[in-house]
Amino acid sequence: MMDAIEIFVFGTAMGGIFALLASGFSLIFGVSRVLNFAHGVCFAISAYIAIFLVKEMAIDVYSASLVGIIFSILTGIIVYFLTKPIRNNIVMVIIVTLAFALLIEQILLLSFGNRGLTLKPFVEGIQVIYDNLRIARIRILAIFIAILVLILLEIFINRSLIGKRIKAVSQDSEASMLIGIDVEKVLIVTIGISSALAGIAGILYAQIFNIYPAIILRVLIYAFAVVILGGLGSFQGSILASFIIGYIFVTTMKTLGAQWSEFVMLLAIVGILIVKPTGFFGVKE
């Protein structure tokens, strides 16, 4: 019972983090049909910048995280400009974003080393919920932050003008151009928002787990699992799928050990593709 509650809380926190990461990946794909392999860079760069500022510059963790997220957005903008001339060539987009991700991974490796680093959490300490059920406070806070950001994102996309334009472009890019939407502007805003989401996810992740340079590519496994389960390009689908993947991840970690999580993710993906290939809310290509 205790285990079940712990898995539930921890899994929800991880699900929230995956949701922040994958919804951004999915948004970019929806708007521009770009498979952004550099999305993990936005995830890692915010955490590394924040860790650096807290440790070396003695800046408080909130402002450091903010600066980190700004760096994520800048990374997203760089990716936008790198992929702009080759956007309709899927292989080239993959090469450029993958090469960019590996480049940043090398730079992080050379400047921070290979060992795992953690960011000082927003709140320290352990919440005793019941007798021997203790949960680190940051995990509970991470759930609230993630859900708050996701709600804000949902409101932004459905209510604001630019949000509606993002929706329009992801439904039909050419028709949106015809009715006078500046598709490039929408795209740059989408990439900015998505990178910020990945940045927030990275900050939360680094407060719960270790972060290391190779995570730039590793974290994409979870993002892909979420997108395939939820259906490519579907926002609601990826949110729901994130939490399922979060619970699967935590359960695997508690029962088999962390090194099995990649295998279980592959099995989950293959299982989904056999049973329901388009995911929960998949859109037709």
Partner 1 sequence: MKNQILILLILFFVLILLPTFTPSAYLYLIGLSLIFAVIVVSWDLMVGYTGQVNLGHTAFVGIGAYVSAILQLPLRIGFFWEIHPMIAILFSGLFSALVGLGIGIVTLRLKGYYFSLVTAILPLVFMQKVFIWREVFGGEEGFSIPAEKIVFATTIEKYYFATFFMFISMLIMLYIVRSKIGLRFKAIRDSEELSESLGINTTLYKILAFFMSSFFAGIAGAVFVNYRLTVSPDLYDIPLMLLVILSAVIGGLGSLIGPLLMGIVVYLAKNWWLTALRWGMINEELVLYVILIAVAIIMPRGVYNEILERSRR
Least distance to partner 1 from the beta carbon of 132, Å? Answer: 30
Q: How far is the CB of 84 from partner 1 (least distance, A)?
A: 9
Q: Is 121 left (phi over 0), alpha (psi -120 to 50) or beta?
A: beta
Q: Does 266 bind partner 1 (CB under 8 A)?
A: yes
Please identify, among the stretches 7-15, 56-64, 130-138, 263-271, the one whose residues bind partner 1 according to the rule CB under 8 A: 263-271
Is 273 among the residues that bind partner 1 (CB under 8 A)?
Answer: yes
Q: How far is the CB of 157 from partner 1 (least distance, A)?
A: 22
Q: Is 265 in the site for partner 1 (CB under 8 A)?
A: yes
Longest pairwise C-alpha distance within the chain:
63
Residue 178 CB coordination number (10 Å): 8
Beta strand 133-136 with 126-130: parallel, antiparallel or unpaired? Answer: antiparallel
Residues near 102 by Cβ (< 8 Å), separated by ≥ 6? 217
- How many other CB atoms are found less than 10 A from the CB of residue 217? 17
Least distance CB 16 / partner 1 (angstroms): 22
Q: Is 132 in the site for partner 1 (CB under 8 A)?
A: no
Nearer to partner 1, 187 or 228 (CB): 228
**Residue 179 found at the interface with partner 1 (CB under 8 A):** no
- Using the rule CB under 8 A, is 140 a contact of partner 1? no
Asked whether the beta carbons of 16 and 143 are under 8 A apart, the reply is yes
Select the residue interacting with partner 1 from 86, 117, 133, 189 (CB under 8 A): 86
Binding mask 205-224 for partner 1 (x = CB under 8 A): ------------xx-xx--x
Q: Which residues pair with 211 in a beta bridge?
A: 117
Question: In 3D, which of 245, 259, 234, 246 has the Cα closest to residue 26?
Answer: 234
Q: What tokens does 50 get?
A: 């924040």
Within a 13 Å sphere around the CA of 123, how many CA atoms are in the beta-carbon half? 13
Question: What is the token pair recorded at 135?
Answer: 């949960």
Among 146, 228, 239, 250, binds partner 1 (CB under 8 A): 228
Mark out the alpha helices in 57-182 (DSSP H runs).
61-83, 90-112, 137-159, 161-171, 173-178
Among 57, 103, 126, 155, binds partner 1 (CB under 8 A): 103
* 2 versus 273: smaller Cβ distance to partner 1: 273
Q: Which residues bind partner 1 (CB under 8 A)?
A: 35, 37, 82, 85-86, 89-92, 94-96, 98-100, 102-103, 106-107, 110-111, 217-218, 220-221, 224-225, 227-228, 232, 259-260, 262-263, 265-266, 269-270, 273-274, 277, 285
